[in-house]
């Protein structure tokens, strides 16, 4: 009797702690005091009201993000932080002979904890000088002082490294909550028998999952067709021949000579064969998270599908956004031509795939669909 009671008390206190850690993480995620000029929090570039992306109007169609200084811009598009917790720790799959998982477009942080430590100290993001000065900002807040000590021990602020680590752990705990991964889109409701797809959505679904037709599911599928909890990425790295974003070059945000070498920037994967490979992104909420690709080069979801089709369809000559022929790939030598080989699509099929992708929108964002 006594034992079970102890067990219940112990279980409750564990639940209490993990709950509160996520709550602390939530406070931190929204706290602009973690940036130098106190203007920017994680939520600034990962807005929970808009699919956890950077939806601020910034003069360049949201292709890349403005940092805390108000001037500096990065060179990559902010991916959604939603569903990010499902990416496995970065590792080399010895059977398939390729890299998988991790956080960022190049997997350079192995997990969410590591990831969360990056932005505060990134000079073109939150711009803090060092861990010590971030921890000093934490100490300004009486609530933090109390909660950190309760969760991580009363000596937690005696060591800046440990306090900083605790902060990243709390943020990661928040990012692992249901808030970030509700799995309640039309597609999920369809799997539960609560939503009936239109015939166009059905066609798009069939095309998406058919490796004889599109091959999308070779890369954008983890568990399998009609399996619950699908994140629509296998977390591998591939070069699909995305062109350089010329707007970033014209505006002087990146140099003319700039090439984003992707995975080979990751210190664990610095090989030439990895140049131009990027992590396969989730397709959850994809219809509301434009612009697309690691450099935000495409504004419209339909363009992305047309882009895949141009590898196989000689009639798909022009990029519909520029009315000019598609630009060449930023990095040519590592393009995965094998997996990009698909049956050619007509406009009706492209529209159907777009309609299917729209069903991957979480319920809370459905009002944002055009
Ligand atoms: C100035 C805008 C900005 C701020 C502020 C910012 N991020 Fe990001 N975030 C980005 C960009 C850009 C990337 C992609 C960078 C890359 O891949 O090199 C990214 C990537 C990520 C990813 C990786 C997602 C994936 O699928 O790989 C996560 C998770 C994330 N950020 C969470 C956070 C957290 C937590 C904070 C606060 C501690 C934060 N971000 C602050 C812009 C921002
Ligand atoms: C060889 C693997 C592969 C195949 C096959 C593939 N994709 Fe992708 N997909 C990727 C990678 C990698 C990226 C990111 C590329 C980059 O940014 O450079 C991507 C990006 C995307 C994006 C933009 C995501 C974002 O957040 O910006 C969409 C949408 C998309 N793919 C849909 C599809 C559809 C639909 C198909 C089938 C017609 C498909 N993909 C086939 C690997 C693949």
Considering every ligand atom, which ligand is closest to the CA of 285?
2
Residues of the chain with pLDDT > 70: what percent?
Answer: 96
Residue 195, Cβ neighbours under 10 Å: how many? 14
Residues 234, 141, single domain; the answer is no
Q: How far is the CA of 164 from the centre of ligand 1 (A)?
A: 17
Residues 224, 147, single domain; the answer is no
Residue where a domain terminates, one of 162, 180, 198: 180
pTM of the prediction? 0.95
Q: How far is the CA of 248 from the centre of ligand 1 (A)?
A: 19
CA distance 202 to 198: 6
In degrees, rounded to 5, the angle at the alpha carbon of residue 292 between the alpha carbons of residues 290 and 297 is 115
Residue 360, Cβ neighbours under 10 Å: how many? 21
Residue where a domain terminates, one of 125, 151, 180: 180
For residue range 223-281, what is the model confidence (pLDDT) as tens digits? 999 999 999 999 999 999 999 999 999 999 999 999 999 999 999 999 999 999 999 99
Q: Does residue 92 fall inside a structural domain?
A: no
CATH code (residue 342): 1.10.760.10
Res 84 pLDDT > 60: yes
Name the pLDDT band for 12 (thresholds 50, 70, 90).
low
Residue ranges making up the domain that contains 152: 2-82+112-180
Res 70 pLDDT > 90: no
Q: Which atom of ligand 2 is nearest to the CA of 105?
A: 17
Residue where a domain terminates, one of 180, 195, 210: 180
Residues 232, 357, single domain; the answer is yes
For residue range 130-169, what is the model confidence (pLDDT) as tens digits? 999 999 999 999 999 999 999 999 999 999 999 999 999 9
Across 94-113, average pLDDT: 96
| Residues in Cβ contact with 338 at an 8 Å cutoff, skipping those fewer than 6 apart | none
Residues 126, 236, single domain; the answer is no
Res 15 pLDDT > 70: no
Residues 254, 330, single domain; the answer is yes
Could you tell me if the CB of 220 is within 6 A of ligand 2? yes
CA distance 330 to 258: 9
Q: Does residue 98 fall inside a structural domain?
A: no
CA distance 111 to 277: 19
Residues 138, 62, single domain; the answer is yes
Q: Does residue 139 fall inside a structural domain?
A: yes
For residue range 187-206, what is the model confidence (pLDDT) as tens digits? 999 999 999 999 999 999 99
Q: How far is the CA of 71 from the centre of ligand 1 (A)?
A: 18
55-62: long-range pairs with CB below 8 Å, 24+: 60/247, 60/248, 60/251, 60/253, 61/247, 61/291, 61/296, 61/299, 62/290, 62/291, 62/296
Residues 126, 195, single domain; the answer is no
Q: What is the total count of domains within the chain?
A: 2
Q: Does residue 101 fall inside a structural domain?
A: no
Res 17 pLDDT > 80: no
Q: Which atom of ligand 2 is nearest to the CA of 357?
A: 35
Residues 207, 239, single domain; the answer is yes
Name the pLDDT band for 364 (thresholds 50, 70, 90).
very high
CA distance 170 to 176: 10
Residues 319, 267, single domain; the answer is yes
For residue range 295-319, what is the model confidence (pLDDT) as tens digits? 999 999 999 999 999 999 999 999 9
Confidence (pLDDT) at 221: 96
Q: How far is the CA of 123 from the centre of ligand 1 (A)?
A: 13
């Amino acid at each position: 009797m006594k034992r079970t009671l102890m067990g219940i008390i112990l279980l409750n206190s564990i639940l209490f702690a993990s709950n509160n850690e996520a709550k602390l993480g939530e406070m931190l995620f929204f706290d602009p005091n973690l940036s130098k000029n106190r203007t920017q929090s994680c939520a600034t570039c990962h807005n929970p009201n808009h699919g956890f992306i950077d939806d601020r109007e910034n003069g360049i169609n949201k292709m890349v993000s403005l940092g805390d200084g108000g001037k500096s811009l990065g060179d990559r598009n902010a991916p959604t932080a939603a569903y990010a917790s499902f990416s496995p720790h970065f590792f080399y799959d010895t059977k398939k002979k390729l890299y998988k998982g991790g956080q960022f477009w190049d997997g350079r942080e192995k997990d969410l904890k590591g990831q969360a430590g990056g932005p505060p100290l990134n000079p073109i993001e939150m711009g803090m000088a060092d861990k010590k000065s971030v921890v000093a900002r934490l100490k300004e807040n009486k609530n933090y002082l109390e909660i950190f000590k309760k969760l991580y021990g009363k000596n937690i602020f005696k060591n800046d490294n440990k306090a900083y680590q605790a902060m990243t752990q709390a943020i990661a705990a928040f990012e692992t909550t249901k808030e970030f991964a509700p799995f309640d889109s039309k597609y999920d409701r369809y799997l539960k028998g609560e939503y009936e797809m239109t015939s166009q959505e059905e066609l798009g679904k069939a095309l998406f999952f058919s490796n004889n037709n599109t091959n999308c599911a070779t890369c954008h599928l983890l568990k399998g067709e009609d399996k619950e909890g699908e994140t629509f990425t296998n977390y591998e790295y591939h070069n699909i021949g995305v062109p350089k974003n010329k707007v970033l070059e014209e505006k002087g945000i990146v140099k003319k000579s700039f090439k984003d070498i992707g995975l080979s920037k990751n210190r664990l994967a610095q090989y030439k064969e990895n140049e131009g490979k990027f992590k396969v992104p989730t397709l959850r909420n994809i219809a509301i998270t434009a612009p697309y690709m690691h450099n935000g080069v495409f504004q419209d979801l339909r363009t992305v599908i047309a882009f895949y089709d141009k590898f196989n369809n000689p009639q798909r000559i022009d990029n519909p956004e520029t009315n000019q022929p598609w630009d060449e790939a930023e990095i040519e030598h590592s393009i995965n031509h094998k997996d990009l080989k698909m049956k050619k699509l007509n406009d009706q099929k492209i529209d159907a795939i777009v309609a299917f992708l729209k069903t991957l929108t979480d319920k809370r964002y459905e009002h944002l669909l055009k």
